[in-house]
Structure 1
Amino acid sequence: MKLYKALTVVFLLIITASAPAQEGLPIYSDYLTDNYYLIHPSMAGVSNCAKIRLTGRKQWFDQDDAPSLNTLSIHSRIGESPSAVGGILFNDKNGYHSQLGGYLTYAHHLMFSRNEIDLNMLSFGLSAGFIQYRLDSSDFQIFDPIIPDGSDLSAINFNVDVGASYFFLDFYAHLTVKNLLNNDGINLNEQGFSFQNLRTFLASAGYVYHKLGSTWSFEPSIMIMHRDATAETLFDLNGKAYKDMEFGRLWGGLSYRRSLDGAQYLDGSGVSEQKLQYFTPFLGVDYKQFMFAYTYSYQANSVVFNNGGFHQLTIGYNFNCRKKHYDCECPAIN
């Protein structure tokens, strides 16, 4: 009986630790669809427009309880002041795991240039919010009958994200710490297991290249993410292109995500190792004050649960827009 209990606890621990739903707002490639505020609180109100963004993400349409994510964000400057506020709501589901969360953000933007034509700005942001984690273990009796029937474990935790951004002409860089505080986590079957350290470190940088008189712009960028508790590190290499049109702007690109940590598996002849890697093409259009984007993420590994990828739609609306002040190719600002 003790062995069964131990195996049950280990099973629950593994599937819970491996689920994206346990890290707060999951970090995918949706920030590339004019949505950097989702991962960097210092991006709240940085644009000359107030912005609303709604995203819907779904994986494996032919599978029940497949991973899905929905987010709603809004952020804006406070009048003509250097301060800004924002908010994020999200609902993340992954099989038996789910989480519902909300954040409120305050950001402040400091100008170092003598005028607003030459962009030289340092921004700070702080987000605070609550996340409800849930684990539905009602079906786990199939594996072990000692688990209470119909049990639904849940926990609500408070946490904060802090970050800073720097903009100089066509260059930008961001640094953020997500889930700064320790969480109480979810105790599994009163065994005392919990997930306290959800801290994630994010660093992003990019540059927008533009030839005078051309309607094209090109933006290479990189994002590095490190999870403190598991010592996992991955990076995104991104390429994005913009084309100015009479009605607005067309844009699209490709993102490549690669983990620096591998997972071992049996390949029939021995033990092999593979590292997580995603290819994510995306395409979007800015039409007047509206934005529409589609993103597809394909996992390019030898061993996968399903060949299907992530599909994501993003809809945005800009309002309370001010005059474009800065003489730069800086889409996130202008």
Structure 2
Amino acid sequence: MRTKLITFVTVFLAVFGLSGQELTLPQLSQYLADNPFVMSPSYAGIGDHVKIRINGLTQWVGIKDAPDTQSLAADMRIGEQSGLGAILYNDSNGETKQRGARVSFAHHLTLDRYDDEFLSFGLSYNFNQFRIDIENFDALDPSVTDDRATTNHNFDVGALYRKDKFYFSLNISNIINKNLANFNEIYEPNALRNYYAYTGYRYTKNKNSRLEIEPSIFFQLFESDGRSVTDLNVKFRWYDFEDYYYAGVTYRFLNDQIGDPLYVAPIIGLKKNNFYFGYSYQIILNEILGYSSGTHVITLGVDLFQGLSNCRCTY
């Protein structure tokens, strides 16, 4: 019985994963590993280093052909008020594969230098190649002889407001409708737009406190079918001069099922010199729980070439 159910889940991922990938980089908890640029182009160039982050995400460990994603992100300041960034990613979900790249530009304005009030705008160009690997389809349909693939070009826009230790980011991903010429127009969604909002506050008791508490909220809405998810997060940072260690938790749920979470994920990480490490273990709380040991998210990073800009908006 267990084998049959695992087989069923695998087929489910291969067939219905097509709409789940939606020609974009999957958004789980990667942004919480001091890596918000993967979520919004408006973060490109915030910081006085060249920031490089490598991320590996393995979902639903124990289930064959479950989603698996790798990404490489880098961003840097150019001049006093602008930033550039890029992301490369590879994602597989059963028999569906996608590879892509995102190139971003951001511009940062200082609204009030004494109150540390800043406004940033970002724009990304996205290139995505989506492919269905039919190597294992022969038993289902011998008439299928070639891989099916399509290439998608799109854009993201974002804005970020910061005042002291408060931040609010609003973003729209995949703003151009998809070309349905190679798809079934009855069942395939035309709009791939995703709407993101991310806000939080970094609280310290006083200037000399080594402990910082950062509650935050991430909201994502999919235009194609109206579904939406929310992350409730809290992080605790302990500072050791310029280094720090953090721990926290994130709670994700569908917005029509607040009391029935998709997962709860403890998160830990550190910054030591210019090296970053982050780890998240997502504890699945739905029907897959009996067949999967959870989802692992690992982030490694390094900051290079400090001092690219003296503008306070880099912090």
TM-score normalized by the length of structure 2: 0.87
Report the 3-state secondary structure (helix = DSSP H, G, I; strand = E; otherwise coil) of the residue aligned with 1:47. coil
Q: CA RMSD in A?
A: 2.6
Aligned to 2:103: 104
Which residue in 2 is equivalent to 1:234?
Answer: 229
- From the superposition, tell whether residues 29 and 12 of structure 1 become closer, same or farther in structure 2 (CA, over 3 Å): closer
Match in the other structure for 2:123: 126
Q: What amino acid sits opposite 1:203 in the alignment?
A: A
What residue identity is the alignment partner of 1:64?
A: K
Match of 2:201 among 178, 199, 207: 207
CA distance, structure 1, for counterparts of residue 39 and residue 49 of structure 2: 19
Q: Tell me the distance in 2 between the aligned counterparts of 1:225 and 1:209.
A: 25
SS in 2 for 1:139: coil
Q: For residues 165 and 317 of structure 1, do their structure 2 counterparts lie closer, same or farther at Cα, with a shift above 3 Å needed?
A: same
1:294 Cα offset (Å): 1.0
Map 1:60-99 → 2, pairs under 5 A: 60-79=60-79, 81-99=80-98
**Is residue 46 from structure 1 mapped to residue 29 from structure 2 by the alignment?**
no
Structure 1 residues 253 and 13, CA gap change in structure 2 (3 angstroms): closer
C-alpha displacement at 1:136, in angstroms?
Answer: 1.8
> 2:270 aligned with 1:285, yes or no?
yes
Q: Tell me if the contact between 2:62 and 2:291 (Cα under 8 Å) persists in the aligned partners.
A: no
| Distance in 1 separating the partners of 2:13 and 2:209 | 56
Q: Are the aligned partners of 1:55 and 1:313 in contact in 2 as well (CA < 8 Å)?
A: yes
Task: Look up the match of 2:32.
Answer: 32
How far residue 293 of structure 1 moved from its aligned partner, in angstroms, is: 1.0
Deviation by residue 1:228-248 (Cα, 9 ceiling, x = unmatched): 001001100000011012571
Summarize the Cα distance change of 1:185–1:136 in structure 2 as closer, same or farther, 3 Å threshold. Answer: farther
Deviations 1:179-233 (A, max 9, x none): 1111225846x78764431100000110111012211000001011100001001
* SS of corresponding position for 1:222: strand
> For 1:287 and 1:296, how far apart are their aligned partners in 2?
21
- The alpha-carbon distance between structure 1 residues 324 and 215, as it changes in their structure 2 partners (threshold 3 A), is farther
**For 2:178, what is the secondary structure of its paired residue?**
coil
Give the 3 Å change call, closer, same or farther, for CA 191–48 of structure 1 in structure 2: closer
Identity among equivalent positions (%) equals: 33
TM value normalised by structure 1: 0.83
Shift of 1:56: 0.8
Q: Pairwise mapping of residues 200-279 of structure 1 onto structure 2 (< 5 A)?
A: 200-212=194-206, 213-246=208-241, 248-261=243-256, 277-279=262-264
CA deviation string 1:281-310 (max 9, x = no partner): 111110011101111111112455723211
276-285 vs 123-132, which deviates more? 276-285
Work out whether 1:307 is the aligned partner of 2:292: yes
Secondary structure in 1 aligned to 2:37?
Answer: helix
For 1:269, the equivalent position in structure 2 comes to: none
Asked if the contact 1:184/1:195 (under 8 Å) is kept, the reply is no
Instruction: Note closer, same or farther for the CA distance 1:120–1:310 as it changes in structure 2 (3 Å cut).
Output: same
Q: 1:321 to 1:118 in 2, by over 3 A?
A: farther
Q: How far off its partner does 1:61 sit? A: 3.9
Distance 1:185 1:254, change over 3 A: farther
Aligned residue for 1:15, secondary structure, equals: helix
Matched residue, 2:5: none
Query: Displacement, 1:55?
Result: 0.5
Q: 1:64 to 1:13 in 2, by over 3 A?
A: closer
Distance 2:290 2:106 in 1: 40
Alignment gaps of 5+ in structure 2:
1-11
Count the aligned residue pairs: 301
User: What is the alpha-carbon distance in structure 2 between the residues aligned to residue 134 and residue 181 of structure 1?
Assistant: 20
CA contact (8 A) 1:155 1:186 kept: no
Structure 1: 5+ residue stretches without partners: 1-10, 263-273, 327-331
Distance 2:269 2:174 in 1: 30
SS of residue in 1 equivalent to 2:16: helix
- 2:13, 2:65 within 8 Å by CA — same for their partners in 1? no
For the residue of structure 2 that corresponds to 1:37, the secondary structure is helix
- 3-state SS, counterpart of residue 112 of structure 1: strand
Q: Report whether the alignment pairs 1:321 with 2:306.
A: yes
